[in-house]
Amino acid sequence: MKNALFQNGFFKRLASFHGDTRGNIAMMFALLALPIFLVVGLAIDASRASLVRYHFQTALDSAALAVGSIYADHDELETIARAYVDKNFIVHGTTINDISLVDNGQEISIVGDFTMTTYFMGLIQRGTIEVSTETEVKRAGGGLLVTLVLDNTGSMEGSRISSLRGASQSLINELFSEENNSEDLRIAIVPYASMVNPGQEAEYLLSPLDLSTIDTDEPLGWHGCVFERSGVLNALADTLPSVLGGYWTPFIYPPGSDNNYNWYNEDSANENYQSNNGTGPNLGCPTPIVPLTNNKAKLDAAITNMTHWNRGGTLTDIGMAWGLRVMSPGIPFNESAEIDPITIGTDTPQSLWDSPRWRKAIVLMTDGESGFYDGYGSDSWSSDYTGYGRQGTGVAYELYGSSASRSEINANIADLCQEAKDDGIIVYTVVFTSGVGTDTRAMYQACASDPGKYWYAPDNDSLANSFEQIGSDLSRLRITR
């Protein structure tokens, strides 16, 4: 039997199967067909998702460009953006899920996502995929509110005040350059020393019992400076004058051992307040505030008239507090409550202060340490009169006790800077001259909105350079939006 099988070649043919590989390819293809099919299918779905995402990105870009030139509340802008995306993104097998918008006044950001039905991923239990993308555009156009809070104390005498005039003028010229529309620009100037001069508005800040009127032609007349209000909450706050404790009183430096003049003899009032030997009721009272305006001639004149004012010391916290009052829309200065011309006639007219189209900035400059000063050197008093009164009395006592340390005043300045930033105001700070302590310089650096908006300017040239850079930065905020 065995011989017969061998003779018939059965075992020979059986043995030949071991070396026969002619069917391997077909078998391997059969085994790999499904994975190959899945890989190709996934690649097709992925390519389709990428293409659809491109179309969705285009729709988002169109929506952002559309709402970038519209000024309305957040919900309305988001509704408009969704309508643009719905109109421009119509792709079979997709569903738009969410469109969210962020408007920070300078930029419009839109984030969206959609669900896409897959052709092949369903084979691995992935019937849909979610795709998200975002876009951001600069706002078209833009307005700018700027307040310059400038140190006009006695230490600015000579080349320093000249340098400040030149630097301030260059900044204003930059903002009024031909590239910028002055209709979208408002600038205020707040000169400060140990007090401020609210100008003509000062008459409306007084208690009805104060009948003083401004008379700058008379040496014994009131020139517009005010004592700060009583009460810790009122002293630096932007409280309405009509609120209890909210009125100011006219600044009058009375005759005395450190201010030798006679109320009945105007010749006794020496109007040369640019020295410690000045006398009269307006010692230390700087040039008036210029409220927000786009009248360049008025701003130029104010810069030209800026000078140093001796006596009293340096109270930058008072200057910064009035910088905020000038910028904000409430009384005593309500220029920023003006309706943005672009929104007039719309369903949602907005003030310059509230409109996301308008940016707000304060430039705070000082040339020294804040503190009270006794210019006459009298043993009878701890300081000259200031906007807070004499050190250790009245409002000065309410804020600082019997004497004010530099750190206490700096803490007030820091709080006011933070208040400005909380209100959406960009804060630039400039420390002029090399005689300012490192602690004060650190405080001003922290006061700035970011480290790039703080300048230490130890000399006249660096002061000019810092104001030039600030002017360029402010101008870019308007041109690139």
User: What pLDDT, in 10s, does the model give residues 172-205?
Assistant: 999 998 655 588 899 999 999 999 999 988 888 8
- Band of the pLDDT at 393, cuts 50, 70, 90? very high
Which structural domain, as residue segments, surrounds residue 158?
A: 143-479
**E strand intervals along 104-202:** 107-117, 128-138, 143-151, 185-192
The predicted structure's pLDDT at residue 480: 38
Question: What residue has token string 């870009």?
Answer: 61
- Band of the pLDDT at 5, cuts 50, 70, 90? very low
Q: Are residues 284 and 198 in the same domain?
A: yes
pLDDT digits (tens, 9 = 90+) for 58-90: 898 888 888 876 767 788 888 999 998 999 998
- Band of the pLDDT at 20, cuts 50, 70, 90? low
- Band of the pLDDT at 481, cuts 50, 70, 90? very low
| Domain annotation covers residue 257 | yes
Per-residue b/e over 334-370, b at no fewer than 16 CB within 10 Å?
bbbeeebebbeeeeeebbbbbbbbbbbbbbbbbbbbb
Q: Are residues 223 and 198 in the same domain?
A: yes
Total structural domains within the chain: 2
Contact between 433 and 458 under an 8 Å Cβ cutoff? The reply is yes
pLDDT digits (tens, 9 = 90+) for 428-465: 999 998 888 899 999 999 999 999 999 999 999 999 99
The domain boundary, picked from 138, 162, 192, lies at 138
| Domain annotation covers residue 467 | yes
Closest CA to 447 of 471, 465, 469, 425: 425
pLDDT over 90 (residue 416):
yes
Could you tell me which residue, 368 or 417, shows the higher pLDDT?
417
Tell me the range of 62-71, 105-114, 182-191, 348-357 where mean pLDDT is highest: 182-191
The domain boundary, picked from 103, 123, 138, lies at 138
The predicted structure's pLDDT at residue 140: 56
Q: Are residues 27 and 172 in the same domain?
A: no
Gap between the Cα atoms of 453 and 469, Å rounded? 9
Question: What residue has token string 């077909």?
Answer: 26
- Domain at 238, CATH number: 3.40.50.410
| Domain annotation covers residue 399 | yes
Q: Are residues 163 and 120 in the same domain?
A: no
Could you tell me which residue, 420 or 71, shows the higher pLDDT?
420
Q: Are residues 213 and 249 in the same domain?
A: yes
| Domain annotation covers residue 30 | yes
Average pLDDT, integer, range 201-220: 85
The predicted structure's pLDDT at residue 439: 92
Q: Are residues 88 and 198 in the same domain?
A: no
Q: In percent, how much of the chain has pLDDT > 90?
A: 47
- Band of the pLDDT at 243, cuts 50, 70, 90? confident
Could you tell me which residue, 36 or 132, shows the higher pLDDT?
132
10 Å CB burial of residue 21 (0-12, 13-18, 19+) is exposed
| Domain annotation covers residue 9 | no
pLDDT over 90 (residue 106):
no
Gap between the Cα atoms of 61 and 58, Å rounded? 5
The domain boundary, picked from 110, 138, 166, lies at 138
